Amino acid sequence: MTWTLVLWLAAGAYAFKFLGLVVIGSRPLPSPLERCLDLVPAALLSALVITNTFAIGKDLVIDARLAGVAVAIVAASRRAPFVVVVFLAAATTALLRQVT
């Protein structure tokens, strides 16, 4: 990937954002579209977590990271603070990697 390509992609991204402002303007979005857009950050974050948990390159791998994510899910479901969730997940992964 060259810097020219990076600059073109950045210009294209800003052009799409500008186009959205021009086309939509100050009009409100339809209710179903707004509900869908509210779910996009959670879907993207979930996709990143799953991809980084189960993949190394193009290979499917199940290792200590899965246990760390499982502990994080349990801690988050019990409404633990974010720092505690991250610490528990990292500690679980590190301990399992040390043992195996």
79 lies in a domain? yes
7 lies in a domain? no
46 lies in a domain? yes
Q: What is the pLDDT of residues 52-100, one digit of tens each?
A: 888 888 888 888 999 999 999 999 999 999 999 999 999 999 999 999 8
Paired residues of 56 in beta bridges = 59
Residue 49 belongs to what domain range? 30-99
In angstroms, the CA 45 to CA 51 distance is: 10
Q: What is the pLDDT of residues 34-45, one digit of tens each?
A: 899 999 999 999
Overall pTM surpassing 0.95 (yes/no):
no
49 lies in a domain? yes
In angstroms, the CA 13 to CA 9 distance is: 6
Q: What is the pLDDT of residues 9-23, one digit of tens each?
A: 999 999 998 988 888
80 lies in a domain? yes
95 lies in a domain? yes
12 lies in a domain? no
Long-range contacts of 68-77, Cβ-Cβ distance < 8 Å, separation of 24 or more? 68/92, 68/93, 68/96
90 lies in a domain? yes
Q: How many domains does the chain have?
A: 1
